[in-house]
Amino acid sequence: MFERRQPIPIAEAVKKIMEYEMQGVTEPISIEESYGRFLAEDLTATCDVPHFDRAPYDGFAIRSIDSSDASASHPVEFEVVDHIGAGMVSQKLIAANQAVRIMTGAMMPEGTDAVVMFEVAQAYEKNGIPYMSIKREFKAGENVSFHGEDAKEGEVLVRKGTLINPGIQAMLATFGYNQVPVAKKPLVGLFATGTELLEVDEPLVPGKIRNSNSHMIAAQIERAGGAVQYLGKLPDVFDTCFTAVKNALDKVDILITTGGVSVGDYDFLPEIYEKLEAKVLFNKVAMRPGSVTTVAQHNGKLLFGLSGNPSACYVGFELFTRPIIRRMLCSSKPHLRIEKAILETDFPKANPFTRFVRSSAYIECGKLKVTPSGLDKSNIIMSLAGANSLTILPGGTRGFTKGAEVDVLLLEDQAGSEWPW
Amino acid sequence: MFERRQPIPIAEAVKKIMEYEMQGVTEPISIEESYGRFLAEDLTATCDVPHFDRAPYDGFAIRSIDSSDASASHPVEFEVVDHIGAGMVSQKLIAANQAVRIMTGAMMPEGTDAVVMFEVAQAYEKNGIPYMSIKREFKAGENVSFHGEDAKEGEVLVRKGTLINPGIQAMLATFGYNQVPVAKKPLVGLFATGTELLEVDEPLVPGKIRNSNSHMIAAQIERAGGAVQYLGKLPDVFDTCFTAVKNALDKVDILITTGGVSVGDYDFLPEIYEKLEAKVLFNKVAMRPGSVTTVAQHNGKLLFGLSGNPSACYVGFELFTRPIIRRMLCSSKPHLRIEKAILETDFPKANPFTRFVRSSAYIECGKLKVTPSGLDKSNIIMSLAGANSLTILPGGTRGFTKGAEVDVLLLEDQAGSEWPW
């Protein structure tokens, strides 16, 4: 009467998916649009930084050699022969005991090799000509930012696969990357299945619920860095479903369906995979929630058959689909980051299978702590709102008590893990 | 010769800014666009969830009273009179010892009050009519998800000011929020000043550098949740600058300038504030970098005069501008989140003023650790790329050694702090 499915371990399921070496595609976009995208190439320095010796302070640029005799009892006087701000270049040739008044960021005038900050100079005029004097020696290079001090041309500064943050934006601008090579967002198609589903703007009727999974998954795709193509709800007619799935595969990089993958009487997906002649990588995983997650491959495209149950759907996406999206964004750490945390509440339920508990991770007194973000019934969406992590409670355990050390997967983190299992 | 400025403590500077009770504006947008935005109103349940008693498993819905005599030696038989999936509603009136074959998510047929999972039922046919039998009693309510069990109509589920994550997207869909009341992104105008600045696509020339601050700040504005209006570079002509700033104020919610706020010979901003008759809240803060940050107010708009120095600019934005943006996004925790961390490298430099060190915070063995993300010269943008935090080293200290407990401000975090100082 039921189809018997053989659950496989989580690590094996993830491995089967990651064997498909989906490649990232480079897309050049303008620097204005690149924040929050992923670098598709290593970011290299296109010039030395600074690309000239520069004054890091407001003051007077001098030839240090002229200051060698300066002391409290023997001030040395300089004639101030020029005055430059950042962006200006002095045209003067600096002779002995001459100085240039210089502002932060300006290029050191030729021949000068030290900057006397205003605070330690005595400035005055004689016959309308500006002078300044100092009471100590300045060493060659004192208060100078040197050419190439921050970066050398050709140096790799940031590795490909890195999320572009404000600091990287600054670097891109510094090195003239008006066009930035970022990873094209993989296009993830999304079908919902289920006769019970209403659209968000439809009124409730008995027995039906609004389709929340598609909106949730769409946001998860965006969080992972993908682009969403919502393809609508699949009707309850096999041929229509089959054609819709088949046609969608040509238009997207990855295809997700929610619902219809279990062994229920109205679950069409297994038959669709069969008729497509898709290779089913697995259709049951030893985990809760999400055990009925099915992943198949057809003509080099991956089909993720996620559960219709919101929690199972959520977890299935994060464990199985996210790493493929991140891989296509050139990440070398495509999996959710895993960390140790202290469990802050008892979790008395036994775990025959490894359980992923939606939870809220937070730092307290410098330590990572975690607490379930709501009841753990798999049909309760409420707990998803407060979840920033999934606590892993390994299978074969008899429950956990407050204070236990547990593994958590961090959902909002961008650093990632190479392999969390 | 120099203007003497009186530095004020950081907390006082932040307080002066936050006294301007900038209000968030509600903008209704479609649910498809709401991921990553901030709720402008509390999210309340518009119906009970579930809004009908539902089967949480595949099985048979029965009247529990009919099972009261069931035991291993005395199985009780039920006639299966209907078959429903999720979204279907049984039209049958269930009489004694009748059952309905039911799929997960379907509405409990009238009169039934328990679900017998397939695994514990014996199903068979007699004369083409389906039957099933059970060998134990089922209690009223057993394996039923009750009407209103997850949420009650009118209940506040998520507070305003919360960032919309995938779980909240699911809730919005569940409760029919096709239009979502989010906080309008404050429009932040951005001018760069400095003769030394080239555009990103211009070739380098002696003494000039590409404008990296505007791109960095634009990304910081986006990270904070604001919208960017880049207004270009201000030329070195006072009247033109003045008019540009004055006109921009009418078009944006917040105005940021980078550079020109110090006491250098080419720093125009102080004069512009004066001619505008803007009220300068402060023009020097007891901190490094960023001490010359100036904040002024004119006709209810805030003007942030950030330093032209990249690091100072970065820090000034995060400490002073970000909380105003978050306030306008309805957040009750608008400041950067502060946490305790273990310093993982020596920091021998003395701190006459409180120092914000660009750093990389990470969790190791369940503990938050932090290490400077590069050299701490204030003109080095390289260290900004790896920074996800600012380590606070209080003023009046003689340096720190590895293992010390320090405060860190987390730049990528979305939870925020009510008040970090």
Mean pLDDT of B214-222: 98
Q: Report whether pLDDT(A180) > 90.
A: yes
Interatomic CA distance for residues B72 and A186, integer angstroms: 56
Question: pLDDT tens digits, residue range A113-123?
Answer: 999 999 999 99
Mean pLDDT of A261-268: 81
What's the pLDDT score for residue A379? Answer: 44
Question: pLDDT tens digits, residue range A206-254?
Answer: 999 999 999 999 999 999 999 999 999 998 789 999 999 999 999 999 9
- Which run of H or E residues covers position B313? helix B310-316
Q: Exposed, middle or buried: residue B193 (CB in 10 Å: 0-12, 13-18, 19+)? A: buried
Query: How close does chain A come to B327, measured CA to CA in Å?
Result: 21
Interatomic CA distance for residues A145 and A141, integer angstroms: 8
If you count them, how many residues does chain A have?
421
Residue B172 at interface with chain A, using a CB cutoff of 8 Å: yes
| Closest chain B CA to residue A307 | B104
Mean pLDDT rounded to a whole number for chain A: 94
Lowest mean pLDDT across A224-233, A382-391, B281-290: A382-391
What's the pLDDT score for residue A302? Answer: 97
A150 band by pLDDT with thresholds 50, 70 and 90: confident
B187-193 vs B254-258, strand pairing mode: parallel
A373 band by pLDDT with thresholds 50, 70 and 90: confident
Interatomic CA distance for residues B175 and B130, integer angstroms: 38
What's the pLDDT score for residue A378? Answer: 45
A381 band by pLDDT with thresholds 50, 70 and 90: low
What's the pLDDT score for residue A44? Answer: 95
Lowest mean pLDDT across A293-307, A367-381, A382-396: A367-381
Which residue is associated with the tokens 């009970």? Answer: B48
Q: Report whether pLDDT(A397) > 90.
A: no
Q: Helix crossing, A213-224 with B166-174: angle to 10°?
A: 160
A385 band by pLDDT with thresholds 50, 70 and 90: confident
Q: Report whether pLDDT(A138) > 60.
A: yes
Q: Please enumerate in sequence order all residues whose Cβ is within 8 A of that of A11, keeping only pairs 6 or more positions apart, or say none.
A: A421
Closest listed residue to residue A100, CA positions, set A66, A60, A136, A140: A60
- Chain B residues in contact with A316 by the CB 8 A cut-off are none
From its phi and psi, is residue B40 left (phi > 0), alpha (psi between -120 and 50) or beta?
A: alpha
Question: pLDDT tens digits, residue range A14-28?
Answer: 999 999 988 899 999
**Residue A218 vs residues A182, A261, A369, B34, B210: alpha-carbon distances, Å:** 21, 19, 29, 11, 38
Planar angle of CA B244, B247, B252, nearest 5 degrees: 110
Instruction: Give the burial string for B109-130 (b: 16+ CB within 10 Å, else e).
Output: bebbbbbbebeebeeeeeeeeb
B177 band by pLDDT with thresholds 50, 70 and 90: very high
Mean pLDDT of B105-133: 97
Structure tokens at A200: 């968000």
Closest listed residue to residue A82, CA positions, set A97, A102, A63: A102
Residue B340 at interface with chain A, using a CB cutoff of 8 Å: yes
What's the pLDDT score for residue A1? Answer: 40
> What ranges make up the beta strands (E) of A31-94?
43-44, 59-62, 76-84
Q: Report whether pLDDT(A163) > 70.
A: yes
State whether residue A371 is helix, strand or coil: strand
Planar angle of CA B416, B410, A166, nearest 5 degrees: 105
What's the pLDDT score for residue B266? Answer: 79
What is the 8-class DSSP label of residue A64?
Answer: G
ipTM of the complex as predicted? 0.95
Q: Provide, rounded to the nearest whole percent, the portion of chain A with pLDDT above 90.
A: 86
Question: pLDDT tens digits, residue range B15-45?
Answer: 999 999 888 999 999 999 999 999 999 999 9
What is the 8-class DSSP label of residue B351?
Answer: B
State whether residue B100 is helix, strand or coil: strand
More confident residue, A266 or A136: A136
B382–A171: do the CB atoms touch at under 8 Å?
yes
Q: Measured between CB atoms, which of B172, B366, B405 is closest to A342?
A: B366
Query: How close does chain A come to B10, measured CA to CA in Å?
Result: 23
Closest listed residue to residue A213, CA positions, set A324, A102, A305: A305
- Chain B residues in contact with A382 by the CB 8 A cut-off are 49, 150-151, 157, 171
CA torsion sign for B85, B89, B91, B93 is positive
- Chain B residues in contact with A200 by the CB 8 A cut-off are 31, 172-173, 176-178
Interatomic CA distance for residues A112 and A119, integer angstroms: 19
- Which run of H or E residues covers position A242? helix A238-249
Do residues B40 and B94 lie in contact, with contact meaning Cβ atoms separated by under 8 Å?
A: no
What's the pLDDT score for residue A107? Answer: 97
What is the 8-class DSSP label of residue A57?
Answer: S
What's the pLDDT score for residue B348? Answer: 87
Interatomic CA distance for residues A371 and A351, integer angstroms: 17
Q: Report whether pLDDT(B76) > 90.
A: yes
State whether residue B234 is helix, strand or coil: strand
What is the 8-class DSSP label of residue B216?
Answer: H
Interatomic CA distance for residues A390 and A342, integer angstroms: 13
| Closest chain A CA to residue B337 | A363
Q: Measured between CB atoms, which of B31, B265, B341 is closest to A85?
A: B265
Interface test with A, best of B200, B220, B230 (most A CBs within 10 A): B200
Which residue is associated with the tokens 């029965």? Answer: B62
Q: Please enumerate in sequence order all residues whose Cβ is within 8 A of that of B321, keeping only pairs 6 or more positions apart, or say none.
A: B188, B220, B221, B224, B254, B256, B304, B306
Q: Report whether pLDDT(A81) > 90.
A: yes
What is the 8-class DSSP label of residue B38?
Answer: B
Which residue is associated with the tokens 């809220």? Answer: A360
What's the pLDDT score for residue B379? Answer: 44
Structure tokens at B387: 């920074």
What's the pLDDT score for residue B78? Answer: 98
Query: How close does chain A come to B299, measured CA to CA in Å?
Result: 30
Report how many Cβ contacts below 8 Å link chain A to chain B. Answer: 318
B1 band by pLDDT with thresholds 50, 70 and 90: very low
Cis, bond preceding B7 (omega within 30 deg of 0): no
Lowest mean pLDDT across A45-49, A296-300, B3-7, B347-351: B3-7
Domains of chain B: 10-25+185-328 (3.40.980.10), 28-48+151-183 (3.90.105.10), 59-134 (2.170.190.11), 337-410 (2.40.340.10)
Residue B104 at interface with chain A, using a CB cutoff of 8 Å: yes
Interatomic CA distance for residues A386 and A76, integer angstroms: 68
Mean pLDDT of B320-336: 97
Mean pLDDT rounded to a whole number for chain B: 94
What's the pLDDT score for residue A77? Answer: 98
What's the pLDDT score for residue B22? Answer: 86
